[in-house]
Structure 1
């Protein structure tokens, strides 16, 4: 708010000279150096709009470094002056294995680029849950609870009456929650908080100073019963959503087990009430149509098999388990064939010396018949088969343990599978990493800084997210 000539004063210049300046090139060099060691990367991307109504698309990259730690960086934030169609997004994409939300434009973009694409599981959960929230009986409950919550937020008299009754009834002094349309779990939290505070809410609504102003805030016993059934039916979806959004780095390996478990949890039983049966049916129907392509199924199942927590693949049939490990064996054998090992596949120094000597003596025979009687492929297959058998026989890792730490400690025991784990477990299960950039962008491209150019916005986001990693 100071006049412009302030920047010309000696005192201001002295102040600015003391402020440390971060070099964008230095941070960029650090990110490039880290990416050089990545065998494979997973990307997340999503589009957003700034307060200045500029459209952007942000890319984040994820990979496992040599110490078996997941590294995540913001790669770029690009202005999208064209409409967010699949064709235009495809023109922007540069790197493979991309995780996006389920928007049709993102799916079209992935089809056009030919990159391996994984749907964001958090977005899948949101779509399935939103479908349940659109059931007439559920919508009716949400409208009534939302009306009550809004009233207590806007009425100071009501808020005081609610707090007074919370103290009398010895309930937690929690405020009621109002849901947000784009987040299904906010509707769950709104109803759950209402049920927690229901005695205090009802007592406050019946008090004389509140009753005359809260004529539209009545709930019947059937409404409360429906709210309780709704919360109970949606609890598995909330747990799964929290797993995907709260864990620091939820990898793609958790998607297939969670998806299969939710399909089981949302299967109706005879004990379910009609409303619970309807909620479960809506969720189950939506989840059942996700991840149906064979390419996507194979990627998810092999990633779960490479995670020592889920390697038993209990969520699959025996035939599907066998098929998944057969495909892993094929990939492991291909890795072995591509890995140049002198004098074939050796087990020790003595065997290596004998093999090399034998090869020297029979070099003419190898020159003549080597292509016909090539042994490399069979040897690689048997080594991969033996390693996978040993891996399957090993005990599974507890769910509370870090799979990457286990892979780091066992990489010399399972060298081929460790390489495959390096390539698969770096893929995030959600595009939440890209979406979290939006909140940071809101702080950078504020109303007071709405004239920032897209280039400067990209540089500031890049520095903010990568400087201290």
Structure 2
């Protein structure tokens, strides 16, 4: 620490301590050894003022200097001049050694060894970037991206340690404050992301939307929309449209209204072909546009509630094709993963339900399966709640899992953890925990129960394999559905023949698959997507009767291709290229009329035409498409590890099928993308950030999921 010359510690030759020479004409030191030495003002004594003694500080003259400055300004100027001269002499080493300061103390000695923190600051600090500087914008965008993607609090920019770090890395960067980020940078970045998503979807004709609702720790609801499509380069894209606070009741009307707001915000009205969600009744009603009776202009939303449209004349226009209008509206599709999970839940919950005229052998097997499932859940809950049992299992590298209603395949994972642990380890853990013999016998697993658990794993494993084929987001899933349904039925039917106890469960699961999953085989989107998958084509059709339907399905596919081509031609009808073509046609027709007039009466005769090449009528567009479809199905299927979109990107033989594949294969089979969005939402709304504002949360979620657009 730098100390002023007059405050330097200098001893006199006789051990006396005096004031600096510049201050001695004005003050007389009375008790220099005191912690707070007292000096008498000689000027105040001359003026005979009531108080002339003033306390000072052990290592400071500031109090006496302040007295001179306030009470004796003329003498203060003399003191300042004398002080400057004395400081110059001391700097040259010409001091008289009679400066006041008590003997060195430990604290003073330590102060001399200290260095001011400002001494480390560069005297030539770099000039800060302006707010429009490219480097300033780049670093700010990276900072915002880190806040959104790494779940950092916005207040981190106000932390001294964080600001010191950024200042050391780039001293020219002007670090924004928290309020600036909230009010300026986040809204700007939100617009940047939204405009980027709009630009990606501008040239598309078909996109697919998933929707779901989530509740956070404070029981506040949020609705999420994701969009999926294949771009011009045949890349599968997924984007988050929004994850916003949904304060309204979860009714069909409110969900539909929010959907309309999002669609209009991104300007994709008329482009959404399908909306995928779970099986909630409100979701189904919100997007089931067949409930709209356009002729009566009423939207049925319940038994007692109807919404009347204000302008009925728009719906009674005779020029409006109602079938065409309904075809433009998106159709609702239930999430395949949720529906498949319902098969498992229903089978496990109703395994103990006796059917009429059922054999006693089957009834007894149902009882054993039900009791085993109940016991496994109880053992897992008991052992996980005990620290003693948990420590014992941890030493054995055994981790038991619990069933979770909101997690797919959680029952299978619980059973599998029991099989991996083994009966001996589990029973030993129960011995460590249970006190009475009765309690031990109630929890210990028998050999028969372990066999049932093993068979349960075998029965439910095909559903896990099926789930991995349809819940992906970075690869095509829509084309796997039909093959997955057939594969599930084949696997379950085969297990019913080899299992001893769980054959009853496998038959129940087959029934559930027929009831809940077979309808997917009848939906055109799933059928056509499977046909357009070069790994499957028509090979997934099993029976001869189904193969006979291939011609009919090919005709439907051709019809669908014609519709798509007509829609694309209608969009391009007003393009400059078409206008030029129409002008060329008019010119050709006028020249032909002149030529016919020149031939006069004989113009009707073909033999009298000029020797130019005659136009020969070619095959119709429908015939071209039929030949293309037939040629495609005649080829061999690709291997199962084939990149579906990569195949169509490089395929040149089937141009019309290529367009259809790009539009159809972008559809996702499940609403799993929305579920993943809410997993990220849970990280943002963790316990320490439970009071995060809903508007800031929506922007952070948009940035986090679409981070590559920042």
Superposition pairs of residues 345-364 of structure 1, within 5 angstroms: none
Per-residue CA distance 1:140-180 (angstroms, 9 max, x = gap): 2222222322333233332344455x4xxxxxx23122221
In 1, Cα distance between equivalents of 2:458 and 2:521: 35
Contact 2:455 2:502 in 1 (8 A): yes
Partner of 2:374: 143
Equivalent position to 1:212, from 435, 439, 455: 435
Contact 2:206 2:663 in 1 (8 A): yes
Q: 1:291 to 1:222 in 2, by over 3 A?
A: closer
Equivalent position to 1:395, from 636, 643, 646: 636
Which structure has the larger Rg?
2
State TM-score, norm by structure 2. 0.56
In 2, Cα distance between equivalents of 1:38 and 1:125: 31
Report the Cα offset of residue 434 of structure 1. Answer: 0.5
Q: 1:260 to 1:206 in 2, by over 3 A?
A: closer
Residue 57 of structure 1: SS of its match in structure 2? strand
Partner of 1:117: 332
Superposition pairs of residues 66-465 of structure 1, within 5 angstroms: 66-94=232-260, 95=263, 96=272, 97-112=274-289, 114-134=329-349, 135-136=351-352, 137-163=368-394, 166=396, 173-202=397-426, 204-205=428-429, 209-212=432-435, 215=440, 216-245=442-471, 248-267=474-493, 271-273=497-499, 275-290=501-516, 297-315=523-541, 317-337=546-566, 379-410=620-651, 412-465=652-705
**Larger RCO (CA under 8 A, 6+ residues apart):** 1
Per-residue CA distance 1:60-116 (angstroms, 9 max, x = gap): 001111111111110012332222122322222235311111222211112148522
Q: 1:42 to 1:365 in 2, by over 3 A?
A: farther
Residue 626 of structure 2: SS of its match in structure 1? helix
Per-residue CA distance 1:204-228 (angstroms, 9 max, x = gap): 2475x44537624222222112112
Query: In terms of mean alpha carbon deviation, does 412-421 or 442-451 score higher?
Result: 442-451
Report the Cα offset of residue 422 of structure 1. Answer: 1.1
Residue 289 of structure 1: SS of its match in structure 2? helix
Query: In terms of mean alpha carbon deviation, does 418-427 or 388-397 score higher?
Result: 388-397
Contact 2:157 2:175 in 1 (8 A): no
Per-residue CA distance 1:2-36 (angstroms, 9 max, x = gap): xxx99989988776943796622222222111121
Report the Cα offset of residue 436 of structure 1. Answer: 0.7
Report the Cα offset of residue 247 of structure 1. Answer: 6.2
In 2, Cα distance between equivalents of 1:144 and 1:25: 54
Residues 1:18 and 2:175 aligned together:
yes
Q: 1:446 to 1:362 in 2, by over 3 A?
A: same
Residue 428 of structure 1: SS of its match in structure 2? coil
Report the Cα offset of residue 240 of structure 1. Answer: 0.7
The alignment yields a C-alpha RMSD, in angstroms, of 3.6
In 2, Cα distance between equivalents of 1:386 and 1:364: 39
State TM-score, norm by structure 1. 0.82
Query: In terms of mean alpha carbon deviation, does 141-150 or 25-34 score higher?
Result: 141-150
In 2, Cα distance between equivalents of 1:296 and 1:84: 30
Partner of 1:468: 708
In 2, Cα distance between equivalents of 1:384 and 1:459: 46
In 1, Cα distance between equivalents of 2:156 and 2:650: 59
Q: 1:360 to 1:424 in 2, by over 3 A?
A: farther
Per-residue CA distance 1:344-395 (angstroms, 9 max, x = gap): xxxxxxxxxxx999978767999xxxxxxxx999611011011112211222
Contact 2:211 2:225 in 1 (8 A): yes
Give 5+ residue unaligned stretches, structure 2: 1-154, 167-172, 264-271, 291-328, 353-367, 573-584, 597-615
Contact 1:185 1:238 in 2 (8 A): yes
* Aligned residue-pair number: 436
Partner of 1:370: none
